[in-house]
């Protein structure tokens, strides 16, 4: 019998991805052009994380800002080349970044198809991305409250609305838009209900702006069954990150990918991030040291808008760069709640086929 997907493409305004899967942005350096380009080539939406993206550019130790801008341009161009005209290529830009506005402008100039922005409320995003440039914008929200506030403010200040919404649930990796208490009792949370409520709150803006606002659900999506469940709730697509780490094309070192493959469910934990939000990561020497006290910051890499290097528990830039390069004990290995189920390396092509095909 022939394999078929039965999934509809993801249409964002005049742009369409044949496969309704966004590969979530993963910083620092975990999703750059190689991964994002491979996902787009398979018809999905490949997302490059701009957080300290230039960490291996020459001159990074002395001028992070310039290296990051140069790398944003370079990786968008490379990912588009790899995509060979398929899918879409975009960036994830965290609101908490010190050079947020510069990253957005650089991504627009470099021709990003989409910009997804979370780790804070991206209130200024429409003002930085002219509608005529064609780059589509989406906030990441984890509650109806955040979704309603962003849509109201974008309408009020810019007479614009979101081109799509990413709803990120409590099982995601990286920074999480929930309190630690909510996350510790996540089984009590009815997040499906929250998803339905967010979907109903965007309807007012779809009517007002006469356009569809597609919704993409993220966090803990592991297989086709999870994708079908998200779609049954009213989603138009999904965003998946952790599953893309154990692929040949993922931009992290092999040691990082091996740590994912070897991780057991009980080794995944919550950690406080200097960003001021909880995060989910693999337990290792870093997380155990931070649980006992601080790791003094020797050098500031100017990553966050709000950070006091004398007070934060550790330097998040150093921890994430150490990890992506392969020091998975002293670095911070962000991961989603279902990472313990990942058992082997694969390729983006195989993973996209596995996620989409039904018999």
Ligand X SMILES: Cc1cc2nc3c(=O)[nH]c(=O)nc-3n(C[C@H](O)[C@H](O)[C@H](O)COP(=O)(O)O)c2cc1C
Q: How many angstroms from the chain centroid is the CA of residue 221?
A: 13
Is residue 120 within the footprint of ligand X (CB under 6 A)?
no
Is residue 176 within the footprint of ligand X (CB under 6 A)?
no
User: Pick from 110, 117, 124, 162: which is nearest to 25 by CA?
Assistant: 117
State in angstroms the smallest separation of the CB of 307 from ligand X. 16
**DSSP secondary-structure letter at 331?**
S
User: Pick from 162, 160, 164, 165: which is nearest to 177 by CA?
Assistant: 165
Taking the alpha carbons at both ends of the chain, their separation in whole angstroms is 7
**Placement of tokens 């947020």 in the chain:** 100
Between 118 and 278, CB nearer to ligand X: 118
Between 108 and 316, CB nearer to ligand X: 316
Among 20, 24, 43, 170, binds ligand X (CB under 6 A): 24
Is residue 90 within the footprint of ligand X (CB under 6 A)?
no
Is residue 340 within the footprint of ligand X (CB under 6 A)?
no
Among 20, 220, 274, 331, binds ligand X (CB under 6 A): 220
Question: Which residues, 6+ apart, have CB-to-CB distance to 342 below 8 Å?
Answer: 242, 243, 245, 246, 260, 261, 263
Between 126 and 173, CB nearer to ligand X: 173
Is residue 279 within the footprint of ligand X (CB under 6 A)?
no
Is residue 178 within the footprint of ligand X (CB under 6 A)?
no
Question: Which DSSP helix (H) or strand (E) runs through 10?
Answer: strand 10-12
Among 7, 10, 21, 30, binds ligand X (CB under 6 A): 30
Is residue 219 within the footprint of ligand X (CB under 6 A)?
yes
Laid out side by side, the sheet with 174-175 consists of 174-175, 278-282, 268-272
From CA 212, how far away is CA 222, in angstroms rounded? 27
User: Pick from 265, 260, 282: which is nearest to 334 by CA?
Assistant: 282
State in angstroms the smallest separation of the CB of 324 from ligand X. 9
Decide if 155 contacts 224 (C-beta within 8 A). Answer: no
Considering only the stretches 76-84, 177-185, 214-222, 268-276, report the one whose residues sit in contact with ligand X under the rule CB under 6 A.
214-222
Among 25, 44, 122, 126, binds ligand X (CB under 6 A): 25
Is residue 168 within the footprint of ligand X (CB under 6 A)?
yes
State in angstroms the smallest separation of the CB of 1 from ligand X. 29
Considering only the stretches 153-161, 182-190, 228-236, 331-339, report the one whose residues sit in contact with ligand X under the rule CB under 6 A.
331-339
From CA 29, how far away is CA 21, in angstroms rounded? 20
Decide if 122 contacts 163 (C-beta within 8 A). Answer: no
From CA 332, how far away is CA 196, in angstroms rounded? 33
* Whole-number Cα distances in Å, 354 to 55, 170, 222: 32, 24, 10
Between 204 and 290, CB nearer to ligand X: 290
| 115 phi and psi angles, rounded to 5 deg | -125, 125
Is residue 141 within the footprint of ligand X (CB under 6 A)?
no
Residues 235-274 that bind ligand X (CB under 6 A): 239-242
> Total residues at the site for ligand X (CB under 6 A)?
29
State in angstroms the smallest separation of the CB of 317 from ligand X. 12
Is residue 334 within the footprint of ligand X (CB under 6 A)?
yes
Decide if 302 contacts 54 (C-beta within 8 A). Answer: no
Residues 41-80 that bind ligand X (CB under 6 A): 49, 51
Is residue 119 within the footprint of ligand X (CB under 6 A)?
yes
Q: Which residues bind ligand X (CB under 6 A)?
A: 24-27, 30, 49, 51, 92, 94, 118-119, 140, 168, 171-174, 218-221, 239-242, 334-336, 338
């Amino acid at each position: 019998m022939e394999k078929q997907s039965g999934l509809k493409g993801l249409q964002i305004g005049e742009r369409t991805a044949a496969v309704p899967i966004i590969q979530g942005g993963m910083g620092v350096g975990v999703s750059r052009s190689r991964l994002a380009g491979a996902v787009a080539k398979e018809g999905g939406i490949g997302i490059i994380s701009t957080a300290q993206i230039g960490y291996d550019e020459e001159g990074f130790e002395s001028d992070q800002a310039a290296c990051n801008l140069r790398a944003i341009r370079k990786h968008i161009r490379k990912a588009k080349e790899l995509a060979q005209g398929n899918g879409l290529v975009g960036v994830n830009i965290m609101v908490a970044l010190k050079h947020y506005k510069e990253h957005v402008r650089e991504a627009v100039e470099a021709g990003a198809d989409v910009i997804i922005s979370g780790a804070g409320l991206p209130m200024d995003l429409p003002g930085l991305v002219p509608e005529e440039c064609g780059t589509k914008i989406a906030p990441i929200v984890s509650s109806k409250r955040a979704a309603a506030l962003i849509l109201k403010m974008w309408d009020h200040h810019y007479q614009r609305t979101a081109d799509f919404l990413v709803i990120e649930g409590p099982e995601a990796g990286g920074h999480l838009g929930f309190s630690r208490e909510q996350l510790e009792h996540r089984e009590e949370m009815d997040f499906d209900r929250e998803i339905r409520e967010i979907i109903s709150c965007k309807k007012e803006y779809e009517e007002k702006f006469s356009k569809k606002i597609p919704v993409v659900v993220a966090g803990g999506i592991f297989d086709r069954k999870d994708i079908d469940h998200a779609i049954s709730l009213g989603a138009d697509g999904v965003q998946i990150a952790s599953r893309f780490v154990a692929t040949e094309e993922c931009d992290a070192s092999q040691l990082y990918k091996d740590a994912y493959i070897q991780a057991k469910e009980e080794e995944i934990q919550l950690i406080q991030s200097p960003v001021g939000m909880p995060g989910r990561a693999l337990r290792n020497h870093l997380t155990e040291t931070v649980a006992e006290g601080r790791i003094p910051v020797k050098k500031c890499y100017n990553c966050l808008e709000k950070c006091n290097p004398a007070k934060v528990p550790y330097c998040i830039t150093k921890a994430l760069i150490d990890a992506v390069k392969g020091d998975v004990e002293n670095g911070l290995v962000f991961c989603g709640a279902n990472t313990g189920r990942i058992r082997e390396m694969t390729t983006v092509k195989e993973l996209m086929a596995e996620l989409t095909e039904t018999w």
